[in-house]
């Protein structure tokens, strides 16, 4: 848990951190967020995360809470005050505080909350042995490309998976295609070794880890295609895995009741996880908010 939080201009003890009852994030889920990995006290792919934050804000017509350089300073202070070396820093921006009414309020500054905490993610045995995912219908809104805080369908899907003893939920369209998971992107490896993941668009979140893994795979000579794939294809795949800021690259060894491959984490997934960890430990980790993929 965080020791300190940044709330609308103030660094406060985490236990005392609060927002107004009429914050539109609380009333309407009218806001966006980012989760940024911390490695040895440094943020990973900070520039990519802040770029996505700005795209999400623009899509919802919410003003940026402060200039990027100032935001990076606040992020750095929150990480420092919480003494987090390996973990995450969480950023949330809402439209702000106003009397409850559906139309956007005028002349209201956005609200900004930032916290940081030690590492979260899969257990060591889940990394070593792989995970099970459960498929279910995608009941989310039609703008999944916006990293909005309106996550109730994701929460319900994740809970259903957890109750069934699975780590994640893979969300599907009526035609049987997999879009993504409740809190991660979904991938398969075809029999010929081709890496497949759903293309960008309004149906999925443009994951930062997804983008980096695609770049890493191409640099490693792994054939890649971005296209929809079906649940049936996934169950017949050579390998499967998920990616996210907290899960990194996490092998999937079972989908519903079907064992994938030989039931153990596959060679490609394990290789990509190792390459991604190298990426996290390299120059991608730092307070340069202008960083770009592959730089």
Q: Which pLDDT tens digit goes with each residue over 145-156? A: 999 999 999 999
* Mean pLDDT, rounded, of the chain: 96
Rounded to an integer, the average pLDDT of 240-253 is 98
Predicted pLDDT at 293: 53
Residue 295 predicted with pLDDT over 60: no
| Residue 106 and residue 215 in one domain | no
* Per-residue pLDDT reduced to its tens digit, 207-217: 999 999 999 99
Flag whether pLDDT at 38 surpasses 90: yes
Q: What CATH number did the domain enclosing 87 receive? A: 3.30.470.10
Asked if residue 205 is part of any domain, the answer here is: yes
CA gap 252, 129 in Å, rounded: 9
Is the model's pLDDT at 65 over the cut of 90?
yes
- Residue 285's contacts (CB-CB under 8 Å, 6 or more residues apart) are 39, 40, 42, 43, 44
Q: Is the pLDDT of residue 135 over 80?
A: yes
Q: Are residues 102 and 134 in the same domain?
A: no
Predicted local confidence at residue 294, as pLDDT: 44
Q: What is the CATH number of the domain that holds 266?
A: 3.20.10.10
Contact 70, 49 (CB under 8 A): no
* Per-residue pLDDT band at 120 (split at 50, 70, 90): confident
Q: Is residue 288 part of a domain?
A: no
Segment 165-187 mean pLDDT: 98
The β-bridge relationship of strands 131-137 and 4-7 is unpaired
Band of residue 42 on the pLDDT scale cut at 50, 70, 90: very high
pLDDT level of residue 119 (50, 70, 90 thresholds): confident
Amino acid 266: pLDDT: 97
Name the domain boundary from 78, 96, 118.
118
pLDDT interval class at 27 (50, 70, 90): very high
Pairing of strands 87-94, 229-230: unpaired
Catalytic residues: 147
Please check whether residue 106 lies inside any domain of the structure: yes
Q: Which two tokens stand for residue 62?
A: 């919410």
* pLDDT beyond 60 at 30: yes
With CA atoms as reference, report the closest residue to 279 among 219, 193, 223: 219
Domain closes at, from 118, 149, 175: 118
- State the first-to-last Cα distance of the chain, in angstroms, to the nearest integer: 33
Residues 191 and 60 in one domain: no
99 and 151, same domain (yes or no): no
- What per-residue confidence (pLDDT) applies to 291? 63
Task: Kindly report the backbone phi and psi dihedral angles of residue 11, in degrees, each rounded to the nearest multiple of 5, phi listed first.
Answer: -95, 120
The domain total for the chain is 2
Same domain membership, residue 268 and residue 132: yes
Segment 184-189 shows an average pLDDT of 98
Percentage of residues of the chain with pLDDT beyond 70: 98
Cα torsion angle, 52, 58, 62, 63, sign: positive
Same domain membership, residue 245 and residue 151? yes
Together in a domain, 85 and 221: no
Q: What is the pTM of this model?
A: 0.95
Q: What is the span of the domain harbouring residue 231?
A: 124-281
State whether 35 and 176 are in the same domain: no
């Amino acid at each position: 848990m965080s020791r300190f939080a940044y709330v609308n201009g103030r660094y406060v003890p985490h236990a005392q951190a609060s927002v107004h009852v009429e914050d539109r994030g609380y009333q309407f889920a009218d806001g966006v967020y980012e989760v940024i990995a911390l490695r040895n006290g440094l943020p990973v792919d900070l520039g990519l995360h802040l770029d996505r934050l700005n795209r999400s804000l623009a899509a919802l017509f919410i003003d940026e809470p402060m200039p990027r350089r100032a935001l990076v300073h606040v992020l750095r202070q929150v990480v420092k005050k919480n003494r987090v070396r390996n973990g995450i820093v969480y950023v949330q921006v809402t439209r702000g505080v106003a009397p409850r009414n559906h139309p956007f309020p005028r002349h209201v500054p956005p609200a900004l909350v930032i916290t940081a905490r030690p590492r979260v993610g899969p257990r060591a045995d889940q990394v070593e042995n792989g995970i099970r995912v459960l498929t279910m219908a995608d009941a989310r809104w039609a703008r999944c490309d916006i990293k909005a805080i309106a996550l109730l369908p994701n929460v319900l899907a994740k809970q259903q998976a957890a109750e069934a003893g699975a780590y994640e939920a893979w969300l599907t369209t009526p035609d049987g295609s997999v879009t993504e998971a409740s809190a991660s992107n979904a991938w398969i490896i075809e029999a010929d070794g081709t890496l497949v993941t759903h293309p960008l668009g309004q149906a999925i979140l443009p994951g930062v880890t997804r983008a980096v893994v695609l770049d890493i795979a191409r640099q490693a000579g792994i054939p890649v295609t971005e296209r929809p794939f079906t649940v049936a294809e996934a169950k017949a795949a050579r390998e499967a895995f998920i990616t996210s800021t907290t899960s990194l690259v996490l092998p999937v060894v079972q989908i519903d009741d079907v064992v994938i491959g030989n039931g153990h984490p596959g060679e490609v997934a394990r290789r990509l996880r190792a390459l991604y960890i190298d990426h996290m430990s390299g120059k991608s980790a730092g307070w340069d908010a202008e960083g770009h993929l592959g730089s």
